[in-house]
Amino acid sequence: MGSGIRTASYGAQESEPGHWDYIVIGAGSSGCVMAEKLSADGKSRVLVLEAGGEDNFWNRLPKGVAKLVKDPRKIWLYQVTQPRETGSDAAEFWIRGKGVGGSSSVNGMIWSRGEPADYDAWESRHGATGWNAGSMTQALNALEDHADGAGRFSGSGGPVHVDPQVHSHPLAARMIEAGAALGLRPVRDLNAQTGPRVGLYSHNIKRGLRQSAAGTFLAPARHRPNVEVITGAAVQRVVVADGRASAVDASISGRSRRFSCAGEIILCTGALETPLLLQRSGIGDGASLHRAGVAPLIALPDVGRHMSEHLSLSMPYRLRGSGAAQLGVHRSLTGTGKYLAMLRWATRRDGIMATGPFEVGAFDNVHHADGRVDAQYYLGAYSFAVGSDNDPVPLDRIDPRPGLTILGSLLRLTSKGSLHITGPDAGDAPVIEPNFLATQHDQESAVALVRRMRRFVHAPPLGRHVGTEEVPGRAVASDADILAAFRRLSSCGLHATGTCRMGSDAASVVDPRLRVRGLERLRIVDCSVIPGHVTGNTNAPAMALAWRAAQLVLDDRP
Ligand SMILES: Cc1cc2nc3c(=O)[nH]c(=O)nc-3n(C[C@H](O)[C@H](O)[C@H](O)COP(=O)(O)OP(=O)(O)OC[C@H]3O[C@@H](n4cnc5c(N)ncnc54)[C@H](O)[C@@H]3O)c2cc1C
């Protein structure tokens, strides 16, 4: 093996018959939107290849998220290779949704649109021509069927039902008042405003059921005669011939199959998998590919670089005082209360089981000098059994005692991470280096966030109910101690972006029409192309990105 290049162990290749105009790889938030939009006029044949399986009951029950995030059939587990502290073990795992709907089928269902200034920066700072507040607002509005109707930042009649008031509880009003006491603007709909604000989260939940990308977009599309969806099809690599993407090799039930494409191949495998899939296909940094035993075909060194994440710390508190037991939702999430809550959901499709992990949310500025939002809070009226890993939301370990959780996320970190393959096979574990808290700015932001969360929970009228802080604990008080605790106990925000960033510069991985540079007929449409910050959750932006991208693809149809 003098060249150092290993041949991936795909076994014998069987060619699949079929003449596809588009092959969409990955049926997640963006992939399902692409499949629906590209097939809608019936003129193109669309094949969707998804590594995971079909939805089940737990995907549809909103609180089913507790089971899903522990089920290896429903999630991908990516082991982070870089330890949080020098000398400690690398023990962190990142999860992503697996199966139709992708991460939208296992996520917290918080519908968060990001801020218009985020999208304007994609265009003005990152060269993503055409991607700005105007075009993304248009796409987001088109997606929505908002319970309050159409507005400047809401749509009506679209496929995704958005409800700004899914579920409330006795502590929620006090949480919102505490945020207001801190200077955050109390709002009915967190998406209708920008800037520091507090309110109930909007959710993509309809009549008590999760609205995943699979149910909303793929289900109607797959009944069309021009659409085929194959689940259990893990794509190993894109085949490049004569300067264009011509086919994909997928493993199905242990057999390797080749699917040829007459038109375009569209990667929608998410911000972690898409750069790895490109690298396995020989697209990336030449030296790094060579080290991994893959023959370099297209030199694109930024594949797998510039990874942004939202870094989060979950802080559980005990509730105190005589009325504490009535305030929290712990009784509906544990013991017999849980069964009663399930019964209520089964008969009325409402209550605590009909919502995600957190009801109350807020956006804040904790450190950036420009005053724009750089932090997000998630508040729940329960706490959980604390483990050494400080699992952010272990919904299977709810503490039966009254509690409260505030989870804070840093949204505009300046540290960038990377990921790359170590071998040619999909089974070769990648190297993942988030590089969290590498800059002074990010370190100061982490300390500011913890101090601000403490002020939040102790602000009136919430403060009088709040007792012991369980993580990191009141003894952690100096800046140095808070930073050390944050480094050790924080978790990724499940919002990775930027690993195949779009831009107008030659070093960007895709151009603003999302075409991979250096070859024809390969596009990327998922969170990996997002070039700048999203100051909020990433499901709605991923769907909006695909909504607009599908139109770009159709505009280029021969
Ligand atoms: C547990 C969790 C909770 C979250 N909570 C929220 C929330 O409340 N609100 C919010 O807005 N965002 C949330 N997010 C983030 C959001 O859901 C994701 O950012 C978004 O869904 C990503 O969309 P995507 O299309 O880029 O990728 P995904 O939706 O992850 O889709 C990728 C798809 O590709 C498939 N795939 C991967 N590799 C292959 C392969 N080799 N071959 C074939 N198929 C493959 C996967 O199985 C998956 O179906 C959460 C994410 C997670 C994981």
Q: Which of 505, 503, 498, 500 has the alpha carbon at shortest distance from 532?
A: 498
Q: Is the CB of 102 under 6 A from ligand 1?
A: yes
Q: Which of the listed residues 96, 103, 140, 143 should we mutate to test ligand 1's pocket, taking the one with most ligand atoms within 8 A of CB?
A: 103
- pLDDT the model gives residue 481: 98
Could you state, in order of their start, the residue ranges of all structural domains in the chain? 1-148+211-301+494-558, 164-201+311-412+437-489
Q: Which of 261, 249, 279 has the alpha carbon at shortest distance from 13?
A: 249
Rounded distance, CA 471 to CA 192, Å?
Answer: 33
- pLDDT the model gives residue 386: 81
Centre of ligand 1 from the C-alpha of residue 381, in Å: 27
- pLDDT the model gives residue 167: 85
Question: 53: number of CA atoms within 13 Å, CB side?
Answer: 9
Centre of ligand 1 from the C-alpha of residue 509, in Å: 20
- pLDDT the model gives residue 17: 64
Q: How far is CA 310 from the centre of its chain?
A: 10
Q: Is the CB of 48 under 6 A from ligand 1?
A: no
Right CATH for 164-201+311-412+437-489 from 1.10.1740.10, 3.30.450.20, 3.40.120.10, 3.30.410.40 = 3.30.410.40
| CATH number for the domain running over 1-148+211-301+494-558 | 3.50.50.60
Backbone conformation region of residue 240, classed left if phi is above 0, alpha if psi is from -120 to 50, else beta: beta
Q: Helix, strand, or coil here: 235? A: strand
Rounded distance, CA 42 to CA 379, Å?
Answer: 45
- pLDDT the model gives residue 7: 41
- pLDDT the model gives residue 2: 38
Burial zone of 58 (CB within 10 Å; 0-12 exposed, 13-18 middle, 19+ buried): middle
Q: Is the CB of 25 under 6 A from ligand 1?
A: yes
| Two tokens, residue 408 | 């804070």
Q: Is the CB of 494 under 6 A from ligand 1?
A: yes
Q: Which of 179, 37, 189 has the alpha carbon at shortest distance from 112?
A: 189
Question: 61: number of CA atoms within 13 Å, CB side?
Answer: 20
According to DSSP, the residues that pair with 375 across neighbouring strands are 364, 410
Rounded distance, CA 304 to CA 509, Å?
Answer: 9
Q: Is the CB of 265 under 6 A from ligand 1?
A: no
ipTM: 0.99
Q: Is the CB of 29 under 6 A from ligand 1?
A: yes
Q: Is the CB of 447 under 6 A from ligand 1?
A: no
DSSP for residue 401 = S
Question: 188: number of CA atoms within 13 Å, CB side?
Answer: 6
Q: Give me the average pLDDT of each 10-residue run along the chain (558 residues).
A: 43 66 98 98 97 96 92 95 84 94 98 97 98 98 98 98 90 97 98 97 97 98 97 97 95 95 97 98 98 97 98 96 88 93 96 94 97 97 82 79 96 98 97 97 98 98 96 96 95 96 98 98 98 98 98 96
